[in-house]
Structure 1
Amino acid sequence: MEGDISQKLLNGAKKTEVEEPTLRELIWTESKKLWVVAAPATFTRFSTFGVTVISQAFIGHIGPTELAAYSLCFTVLMRFGNGVLLGMASALETLCGQAFGAKQYHMLGIYLQRSWLVLFLTACCLLPLYIFTTPILIALGQDEKISHVAGYISHWFIIIVFSFIISFTCQMFLQAQSKNMIIAYLAAFSIGIHIFLSWLLIVKFKYGLAGAMFSTVLAYWMPNIGQILFVTCGGCKETWKGFSMLAFKDLGPVVKLSLSSGVMLCLEFWYNTILVLLTGNLKNAQVAIDALAICLNINGWEMMISLGFLAAASVRVSNELGRGSAKGAKFSIILTTLTSLAIGCVLFVVFLCLRGRLAYIFTTSEEVASAVADLSPLLACSILLNSVQPVLSGVAVGAGWQSIVAWVNIGSYYLVGIPIGVVLGYVLDMHVKGVWVGMLLGTLLQTVVLIVITYKTDWDRQVVLAQARVNKWFVPESRDENGSNTENATA
């Protein structure tokens, strides 16, 4: 009897050892991890994008000159600063994600402080652009009155640019730990306050542009204050061990990875800007630019979903690589890509069916609405590509391939997409459609190349590389805690 019981227990133990979760269980588990990052990240990006749209709407009621100046500053200056700092901050996604997966929790706080230093120096280098905006715009042939107002707005933008340092780094620090619901709550609170303050200062008390910019600055800084308090006051006990002099050590590799990340993302961000610039030189440019602006506005809102999946792909891949699971990284890539693609397919069909009807949300012009309807198939294709391409960029960030993707972007976008767009738009007289087709072909080529790279990658080797990176910059926790005033001061 005793032998039978022992035999049953041994059999039960063996069963437990070999028993693996079913495919359905794996999908359910990974989906939960995916949406824990993707949902708050998407909402946060919608809210941040909404701050700009709300500011633009209220400034439009102040006057056409103020609106033109704000639009110019946002399109050129804000996007430039945003692209550079967001790109450089994405290095933190690689470092924090892999360190968290490797359970080197205390290193996340050190990486965060190193990223603050790198981004602060970068923001200081960008200052002349915002200080001398007026003479720069006048030299570029812009209207003098608009340039002077833009110069005033750009001085306010300096405060916003420095807010990106805290915003981007804290978001990536928290995302690596799947703790980004707090970011979504803060973003929702911030946009609510922004709407109320904009109405109060502009409509009620008539403070004009100063009131609008004060409310905008506050909307960008409020979430930062909340994030800093959450990180430093107990919300991240395992990953934040206090300020450390170790933040000043090993900055070289962080700068190198940050520069690669910055180049990679900036090349993508500036691609659409070049599309607008090329369109501005075509015949009947006013209608073309209006129609394109509407399409890019819709595309921009949809892109917030894609950027949420970019964040999720980056976090999941970096966590799995840091944990040492090549199989987990591959499964995460497949599931994230298929989930994002499914959403993209639904939106593709929706925008194909709606066509020009969406234009009437933004304009009353029949001519512009007709032009939007004509561009709708291209918009739908862009949305479909956006459902895959950002996920693959997120995979690249998670694995630390930023420099490779930067070269892929140069080849796909600037050596293929733009030249084809110029030939189709100008030489073959396809106008804005030709330019956009060229740009889409560049994006398609980039997507195909990234799919091939991802498919051909030896993920077991990527695990080794990730663990080598994590171990190379590893600092024992005891040294960080006990030597913060002595050892760290000489590190």
Structure 2
Amino acid sequence: MSRSGSSPIAIENGRDGRRHSVLSDFLSGSVPFSTSFIDTGPNVQEILTRDIQDCSSEEEDEYDDSDSESRSIHATDVQLAFHPTGVAYGSGFSTVPVPGRDVPVPNPHEVDESLQAELDLLHDNDIVTSKHPRTGWRATFMGRLYRSLFSTRVQDHKKPIHSPQDMTEATPLLPDMTITSGETSGDVTPTLSPDEVHKRWEEAVAAHDIKTTWQREAKTLVTYAAPLIATFLLHYSVTVGSVLTVGRLGMEELAAVNLATMTASITYYVPVQGLATSLDTLCAQAYGSGHKHLVGLQAQRMTWLLWLLMIPIAVVWWFSEPILAALVGGGQTATLAALYLRVLIFGMPGVAAFESGKRFVQSQGLFHATTYTLLIGAPLSFLQNWLFVLHADWGFAGAALAMAVTQTLLPILLMLYVQFFEGSECWKGFSRKAFSNWGPMIRLALPGMIMIEAQFSVLEILTIAAGRFGTAQLAAQSVLVTVTSTSFNIPFPLAIATSTRVANLIGAQLSDAARTTARVAIFAACAVGLFNMTIFVTLRRHLALLFTDDDEVVEIVVQVILVCAVMQIFDAMAAVSHGLLRGIGHQAIGGYANLFSYYAVALPISLWTGFALDWKLTGLWTGLTMGLAVVSVIETLYLYVTDWESAVAQAEARMRSETRRASVLE
């Protein structure tokens, strides 16, 4: 099947160009996509309508039309109610729903992924696959045992393992190879057109014939989560490399890099990520509406906005030493942290450009572009740390320089990928129009920034609190933050995959299948949490020695990491539970539960145990662990008592409502 943009075109050889979907009864013939894909928020419509009016010209119309034709697809229809999340494939998100923002238009990758998901479930239920007689070991007890454990086919789990049909002396050597109507030989699934797949899918869902197994859902979650885990780990490895290198310099440097990194994150990196999340909607909507040149325009506009935001923050970073000294006490740590921030100023433009660039390529379905960029950028970051810090003997400033160079290099690598490989169809060069129509974009972006900032601020408060305990405690905090953040890059992608899968199944009215996914996801979260906890407990001293050889810091890490190990269970459970809530459309519960747990539970307990009980760093992490325990319990209990059938009904109601309000951009 050829790849395509998500522009609204009819399926070839379809029934009068109408969508073939379980939701088709809710859609008028003029709506090319399920309205869950159309952001009807007034800000989005206002932005794109203005841009279309400003940019409309024969040249651009010809560009978009010819491009759509060159990338035609047999099925732009997404039957499994694909629900791309704002966080998917490395983009940021807020756990609290952002007003005025809806689900983006599906891109080619999501279209293909959704079609394959339909085909998999049809195959599992023997609706589109041939039923072939099993011969040899497959027909024996061992074959049935294997299938009962690993097969994704529904029927394989309904048959008894012990069967009177086990091969005996009377079993024919050549079994009956008669093939019924529509079947083929050789274990080859008949090739079906997307149109035929959609037709069979509609019929099967209407007849309630679609079931699933935990094996299928486990396989799907692994398939979805594995590339995300790789991408997230690659991206965070840039920070890990800097901390690893700085830890070789001394305790003061290790403490300073944590203070500087957290300050940079809260004052610039997190706001940039929060503002850039608006591009998840804007770029996807522009691409899906067929006005692909607007994708580049939106990315340009956001980049300029982020660069403008950079100026006052850069001034604060340059004169940050007295501020940091007041927060954590005077001394060498504040001086080094301020030096690190001054050097990082040179990487600020690259951070903004990379966040916008990620959305630019992801809106086209080119998620692998970011991964390929990081596959080159991350190793180069490690090389630069060795070169600048150890080989050139530039010390602490060299680590900051390596980070700044990497931050600048990543968007350049991404642009080179777009220029020489794919994605350039949405770029028509720089435009003065990027300096207009900022108001609606800012109104759309601000809520996301505020919500994300509110969640991450807790970590900065705890880092500042750790600084009040002394340099050794702050250095140990640097190690603990790094290892726990690294471990979180396993359950977090799992949560993304879970959210997407459950939302798809809920949208397709398959509540039983969604519940199966939920059970698999909860089990996987426990398994991941136990795995991380085991690593932390058994390798705690080795993990500490990776970052520093200072005996005092190592002993603090070895002691406190036991609390962090327990936290891994609740961290994974909270992440996946929230992913499930997002999937059933109840993310508000998880979002506000997170804010309550952080500010009403975690922060007070951390400060009380850390200072009043003099537990110091152990107290800070105890409070955070208890906060995560509370949020995971709240979310899990809510999921347990939730009526999943009502979630399906609510999804239908939202789609009906959006259908009445939606208008297709022309």
Whether TM exceeds 0.5 here: the answer is: yes
One-letter code aligned to 2:273: L
**Offset at residue 434 of structure 1 (A):** 3.8
1:269 paired with 2:456, answer yes
2:204 matched to which residue of 1?
18
Query: Conserved in 2, the CA contact under 8 Å of 1:93 and 1:397?
Result: no
**Cα distance in structure 2, aligned partners of 1:288 and 1:430:** 11
**Offset at residue 442 of structure 1 (A):** 1.7
1:221 paired with 2:401, answer no
Q: Are residues 342 and 351 of structure 1, via their aligned partners in 2, closer, same or farther at CA, if it must alter by over 3 Å?
A: same
1:168 matched to which residue of 2?
355
Q: Which runs of 5+ in 2 are unaligned?
A: 1-180, 183-195
**Offset at residue 302 of structure 1 (A):** 0.4
1:55 paired with 2:242, answer yes
Question: What value does the CA root-mean-square deviation take over the aligned residues?
Answer: 4.8
1:415 matched to which residue of 2?
600
Query: Conserved in 2, the CA contact under 8 Å of 1:261 and 1:403?
Result: no
One-letter code aligned to 2:632: T
One-letter code aligned to 1:264: M
Q: Are residues 295 and 463 of structure 1, via their aligned partners in 2, closer, same or farther at CA, if it must alter by over 3 Å?
A: farther
Q: Considering only CA atoms, is the larger Rg found in Structure 1 or Structure 2?
A: 2
TM-score normalized with structure 1 length = 0.72
**Cα distance in structure 2, aligned partners of 1:297 and 1:314:** 26
Given the alignment, which residue of 132, 138, 156 partners 2:343?
A: 156
Q: Are residues 220 and 435 of structure 1, via their aligned partners in 2, closer, same or farther at CA, if it must alter by over 3 Å?
A: closer
Q: Does the residue aligned with 1:50 lie in a helix, a strand or coil?
A: helix
Higher helix share: 1
The number of aligned residues is 461
2:232 matched to which residue of 1?
45
1:436 matched to which residue of 2?
621
Q: Does the residue aligned with 2:490 lie in a helix, a strand or coil?
A: helix
**Cα distance in structure 2, aligned partners of 1:240 and 1:466:** 32
**Cα distance in structure 1, aligned partners of 2:277 and 2:480:** 27
**Cα distance in structure 1, aligned partners of 2:663 and 2:341:** 40
Written as runs of structure 1 = structure 2, the 5 A alignment for 1:57-96 is 57-59=244-246, 69-93=256-280
One-letter code aligned to 2:216: I
Show CA shifts across 1:137-192 (max 9, x none): 35557547665654443233223233222323433554566532332222121122
Q: Which runs of 5+ in 1 are unaligned?
A: 1-7, 480-491
Q: Does the residue aligned with 1:458 lie in a helix, a strand or coil?
A: helix
Show CA shifts across 1:27-68 (max 9, x none): 26x844x55653333333323332233334445667877666
Query: Conserved in 1, the CA contact under 8 Å of 2:609 and 2:619?
Result: yes
1:458 matched to which residue of 2?
647
**Cα distance in structure 2, aligned partners of 1:278 and 1:159:** 28
Q: Are residues 67 and 361 of structure 1, via their aligned partners in 2, closer, same or farther at CA, if it must alter by over 3 Å?
A: closer
1:295 matched to which residue of 2?
480
1:483 matched to which residue of 2?
none
Written as runs of structure 1 = structure 2, the 5 A alignment for 1:470-489 is 476=665, 479=666
Query: Conserved in 2, the CA contact under 8 Å of 1:97 and 1:398?
Result: no
**Cα distance in structure 2, aligned partners of 1:42 and 1:303:** 10
**Offset at residue 336 of structure 1 (A):** 4.9
Q: Does the residue aligned with 2:489 lie in a helix, a strand or coil?
A: helix
2:216 matched to which residue of 1?
27
**Cα distance in structure 2, aligned partners of 1:369 and 1:92:** 43
**Offset at residue 297 of structure 1 (A):** 2.8
1:130 matched to which residue of 2?
317
Written as runs of structure 1 = structure 2, the 5 A alignment for 1:270-285 is 270-281=457-468
**Offset at residue 129 of structure 1 (A):** 2.2
One-letter code aligned to 1:89: A
**Offset at residue 239 of structure 1 (A):** 6.8
**Offset at residue 414 of structure 1 (A):** 1.0
Written as runs of structure 1 = structure 2, the 5 A alignment for 1:82-481 is 82-93=269-280, 106=292, 112=299, 115-116=302-303, 118-137=305-324, 140=327, 143=330, 150-172=337-359, 174-175=361-362, 179-206=366-393, 212-231=399-418, 235-236=422-423, 254-281=441-468, 288-289=473-474, 291-313=476-498, 320=504, 325=508, 327=510, 330=514, 334=518, 336=521, 338-354=523-539, 358-362=543-547, 371-393=556-578, 407-428=592-613, 430-451=615-636, 455=642, 458-462=647-651, 465=654, 476=665, 479=666
Instruction: Give the fraction of aligned pairs with identical amino acids, expressed as a percent.
Output: 25
**Cα distance in structure 2, aligned partners of 1:471 and 1:250:** 27
